[in-house]
Amino acid sequence: MEQPADTSGLRDASPQVAVTVVRTGGFAGLKRTWEATADDPSTVGVWLGFADSLPWGATPREDPRSVDRFVYRIVIAVHSEVRHEKTLPESALTGGWRDLVDRVQQQADGDAGSGQSPAPPH
Amino acid sequence: MIHSIVPPYLLEKIAQTDDGRMVRAARSARRALLARDSVLDARATAGAEANRTGPDSEVPHGGSPSVAATVKRRDGGTLAESAAGAVAATPTPSRTIFDAHNTEQLPGTRVRTEGSDATSDVTVTEAYDGLGATFELYERAFGRNSIDGKGLPLLATVHYGKDYDNAYWDGQRMVFGDGDGEIFGRFTASVSVIGHELSHGVTQFTAGLEYQGQSGALNESYSDVMGALVEQFQKKQSAGEASWLIGEGLFTAAVQGKALRSMISPGTAYDDDMLGKDPQPADMAHYVDTTDDNGGVHLNSGIPNRAFALAAIEIGGFAWETAGQVWYDTITGPLASDVDFATFARAKVAAATARFGSGSAETKAVRAGWLKVGVLEDGAAG
């Protein structure tokens, strides 16, 4: 059951929101992890609003003939409690999912300032 | 027109023999039959595509050398004599390389077709040559005409994505990224990668191993085996001389590692401050249970990889003639798509027995390899 984007009561703890992306597979089989966190109240609201708008309950599009592609596991945690979790094949990483992963990678790699809000979903 | 002094029904009979004294003849007969089939398919394909044109068509247009050119020999002749004494056409590849121009749009722009001159782009050249090297291993060592055994055109797209750290098989073509320049360089740099990806296509057209859990790890292992053999075949290396490394040269100089995987010593290919240590297990005692990576297909492939490399080294000589032939026989034989390691190991021992005999050094080495990695136990190795 999806929870609504309720950010009330989240302003006294830190970190309030953690978005973790774990990429496995690929030809190399390397596991890489990126994490973005947010503490600023307005940023927390944007992250969660964006995250809650994604189709977490939908079955991802299958790509049965592709091999050696990446697999992405995305976890949204609020106060260390998992709010959303999803595993997606690379072929399904489109639209809002791609925006979310790109943003987390950018923040984790330091290309964007920490605590910045995610790009709006397409 | 193809002439053969040996009638087709006799070639088929020889090809199907399990007489150990006729191994070479059977192999040659199968090659002759495959060559005959490829020509028949080529004729049908040529007829169907006679009017097909278009600059970005995924299949080479009728004006370029393609499957229809399989009657031509590599040295420009038209016919080749098989070792069985039959005269038949030698298949040749039909390669087309596309450039995605750092987008994720496939197939991209066609930049090189079969027989055309090399471009100034080294990535295109590596992809073209790697496809050719892989085709050559399959054709010369196993008598297989391309991925599907029927001369399927070989398609590849280079410069896929931006800083894309991967190469993959999408069911129709090979796709290569340029790497991010920090951890990985371009993925065409190692012919073992190209052999690996094309071999996923062979698996797709043969055993169809499900890409999950142990059958997925076997799918990966077969591709690693053939990727290594393409490199060994190209260098004319014996099993004892080979590096048994997969993806050597893909890491940048900043990474502490020699390759992505070591078949003979899984878990030792790299040990880097940022990437960590190569996580591949070398035996069943260290099998990795995980939901990541389709059930760890790129991790647990280390176990069958090591079983193969151990067998090949034990046998000695050129691995594609012995252990590699057994792997190929197994993948093209009766095999459940969701086969597990133990069932597969028994199938390989059976394949080795069928080709080389139960008491042969080859069969003993294949069995010993699976015993060493803990997949088979004494008394259960078939």
- The pair of structure tokens assigned to B253 is 């100089």
Angstrom distance (rounded) from CA B297 to CA B216: 5
Q: What is the pLDDT of residue B380?
A: 52
Contact yes or no for B134/B198 (Cβ under 8 A): yes
In this predicted model, what pLDDT tens digit does every residue of A45-84 receive, in sequence order? Answer: 999 999 999 999 999 888 888 999 999 999 999 999 999 9
Containing A72, the helix (H) or strand (E) segment is strand A70-78
Closest residue of B to A69, CA-based? B168
CB of A26 within 8 Å of any CB in chain B? yes
- The pair of structure tokens assigned to B371 is 């015993």
- The pair of structure tokens assigned to B227 is 């990727």
DSSP class of residue A117 equals P
Contact yes or no for B307/B341 (Cβ under 8 A): no
DSSP class of residue B70 equals G
Q: What is the ipTM of this complex?
A: 0.80
What domains, with CATH codes, occur in chain B?
Answer: 8-189 (3.10.170.10), 213-372 (1.10.390.10)
Task: Identify which of B20, B17, B15 has the alpha carbon closest to the alpha carbon of residue B357.
Answer: B20
Q: What is the mean pLDDT of residues B74-90?
A: 47
Angstrom distance (rounded) from CA B373 to CA B238: 22
How far B132 CA sits from the closest chain A CA (Å)?
A: 21
Containing B95, the helix (H) or strand (E) segment is strand B95-99
Interface test with A, best of B293, B294, B337 (most A CBs within 10 A): B293
Hey, which residues of B are catalytic here? 197, 298
Q: Which chain B residues have a beta carbon less than 8 Å from that of A30?
A: 260, 275
Q: Which chain A residues have a beta carbon less than 8 Å from that of B337?
A: none
In this predicted model, what pLDDT tens digit does every residue of B102-145 receive, in sequence order? Answer: 999 999 999 999 999 999 999 999 999 999 999 999 999 999 99
Interface test with B, best of A27, A90, A109 (most B CBs within 10 A): A27
Angstrom distance (rounded) from CA B132 to CA B154: 9
pTM of the shown model: 0.79
Containing A1, the helix (H) or strand (E) segment is none
Q: Is B211–A67 a contact, with Cβ atoms under 8 angstroms apart?
A: yes
Q: Which chain A residues have a beta carbon less than 8 Å from that of B169?
A: 66-68
In this predicted model, what pLDDT tens digit does every residue of B175-228 receive, in sequence order? Answer: 999 999 999 999 999 999 999 999 999 999 999 999 999 999 999 999 999 999
Q: Which chain B residues have a beta carbon less than 8 Å from that of A73?
A: 292
How many of the other CB atoms lie within 10 Å of CB of B375?
25
B95-99 vs B109-113, strand pairing mode: antiparallel
How far B123 CA sits from the closest chain A CA (Å)?
A: 18
Q: What is the pLDDT of residue B282?
A: 98
- Identify any residues that bridge with A71 across adjacent strands, giving them in sequence order: A24, A89
Contacts of residue B324, defined as CB under 8 A and 6 or more positions apart, other chains included, come to B141, B225, B226, B229, B312
Q: What is the pLDDT of residue B59?
A: 36
